[in-house]
Amino acid sequence: MTEVFAHIAIGIYSLALLLIFFYSLAQLNLLFNYLKYRKEQANRPRFNSFDTSGAPMVTVQLPIYNELYVVERLLDNIAQLEYPKNKLEIQVLDDSTDETVSLISKKVRELQEAGIDIKHLHRTDRTGFKAGALKEGLATAKGELIAIFDADFLPEKDWLKQTVPYFRDSETGVVQTRWGHLNRNYSILTKIQAFALDAHFTIEQGGRNARGHFINFNGTAGIWRKSCILDAGNWEGDTLTEDLDLSYRAQLKNWKFKYLEHVETPAELPIIISAARSQQFRWNKGGAENFRKSVQRVINTRGLSLSTKLHGIIHLLNSSMFLFAFIAAVFSLPVMMVKHYVPELGFWFDFSGIFMVSTVILFICYWFTYKNLQKGGIDGFLSFVPMFFTFFAVALGFSLHNSFAVIEGHLGKKSEFIRTPKFNINEFTGVRISNKYLNKKLSRNTVLEVLLTLYFIAGLILAWQLRDYAFLMFMGMLAFGFGYVSYNSITSNS
């Protein structure tokens, strides 16, 4: 190993760790914001009194694309929303190309006969994908407020009564609620997804909103003021995360967003890894696309505090953390060899402590989330520790797949909006799962993940031989993470 290569390897590795460290510091700041806000709000009454006499007109939009397994459950649930009937309209924005169309038509007729104002709007052209459907529905929506739910979300009956009152503030453009999880305990995969989403909806959404930083409408389980959507330029389909795009355009025009942690809207988590991969790809590529689209406006907009700009930039770069994590992972093996075979570069390894500091910070942040939403005390901590490291390892296992998404987003490469298949299954039964929407094709990424599993197993063996226990733990996490993702990708396609 030449000294030049050693310097390059350590330089790239160190840069990736440094960027991850800055991200972890931002997360820690959001945690402080969140905890301070919770303390300030502890003794204040929640603003959720609902006055039926002054209730504004609400349109509930349900964007649907081939949701054979969950669409009837969705429509039955939405029909139970408690709100003055003469002030509630439901739009089923249907882009389906299969028998979902006839299922919706039948169910909509039943609900119409029951006196519910519900319309089935079927498009045969998916222009703009979800954004296009929402925009087309908005053109005829009667509501002053627009609530949006994806096909797998099941709001409580009083959901509108808990959210609509916050629009008494004329400057409020969006109210977003916290996602719950119908099938959190289905498998390790669903537990990991719930673990990550809980942190987003606690520390990130709560911490940003607490100090007036930009947050995002999460695409569902939220409600918009129609005039806010129009003032911000309406829905646009040029990114895969139209929700993040419109959120930033609206907040750059000084609309306020309100996040309600106490209002939980349960939904179904992907139970098959291919479904989770498609969702992850869309979210991470869309995040990078929105960085390209919005970061310059965030930097140049006058009147925004420096902290709001910094958190906005980091928010838009969130998905890029997978790329930095993947770079650090791949270069960890050559860096470990440099550490032991090029002793004159030993001073560089004082820097590697940043990775441990970043891990400790994220450990603390996730613990507060777990303690608040799951279980505290000693028992809670003992269940949290293995969950955190399992999450960390599997997140690293997804890093190759998500890095491709991020790179495509930053390069401006366009791709189709790939839906996440839903199953309407909340408990593990041991019966083989069938779903007509699953992609059975083995991807190129899975082959690469198998090779990376072998690469990190080799690193694990080398770390053991070198008695390098810090790298031994990291290599073990990487081997497990990539092995878990690649194995489940192969077996779910068989």
Tokens representing residue 332 in the block: 């960890």
DSSP secondary structure code for residue 64 in this structure: E
Phi and psi angles of residue 435, each rounded to the nearest 5 degrees, phi first: -155, 120
- Is 259 in the same domain as 330? no
Number of domains in the chain: 2
**3 state SS of 183:** coil
- Is 458 in the same domain as 346? yes
Identify whether 249 is part of a domain. yes
243 catalytic? Reply is yes
| pLDDT mean values, one per 10 residues, the chain (494 residues) | 80 91 96 90 65 90 95 97 96 96 97 97 93 97 98 97 95 98 94 96 96 96 98 96 98 97 95 92 96 97 95 96 96 90 75 80 95 89 96 97 96 85 67 66 88 98 93 95 95 69
Query: What is the β-pairing status of strands 58-64 and 88-94?
Result: parallel
- Is 267 in the same domain as 327? no
- Is 173 in the same domain as 225? yes
Phi and psi angles of residue 153, each rounded to the nearest 5 degrees, phi first: -100, 140
Taking the model in full, what pTM does it have? 0.94
Identify whether 39 is part of a domain. no
Cβ distance 137 to 91 under 8 Å? yes
Instruction: Find the helix or strand (DSSP H, E) in which 307 lies.
Output: helix 306-316
Catalytic residue among 94, 150, 198, 243: 243
Query: What is the β-pairing status of strands 256-267 and 88-94?
Result: unpaired
- Is 27 in the same domain as 81? no
Phi and psi angles of residue 267, each rounded to the nearest 5 degrees, phi first: -150, 170
Identify whether 302 is part of a domain. no
Identify whether 460 is part of a domain. yes
Tokens representing residue 197 in the block: 């989403």
What's the confidence (pLDDT) of residue 339?
84
CATH number (domain holding residue 204): 3.90.550.10
Identify whether 240 is part of a domain. yes
Catalytic residue among 95, 152, 198, 468: 95
- How far is the C-alpha of 156 from the C-alpha of 162, rounded, in Å? 10
**3 state SS of 266:** strand
- How far is the C-alpha of 189 from the C-alpha of 183, rounded, in Å? 10
Phi and psi angles of residue 352, each rounded to the nearest 5 degrees, phi first: -65, -15
Identify whether 280 is part of a domain. no
Identify whether 310 is part of a domain. no
Identify whether 18 is part of a domain. yes
Domain carrying residue 21: 3-33+319-492
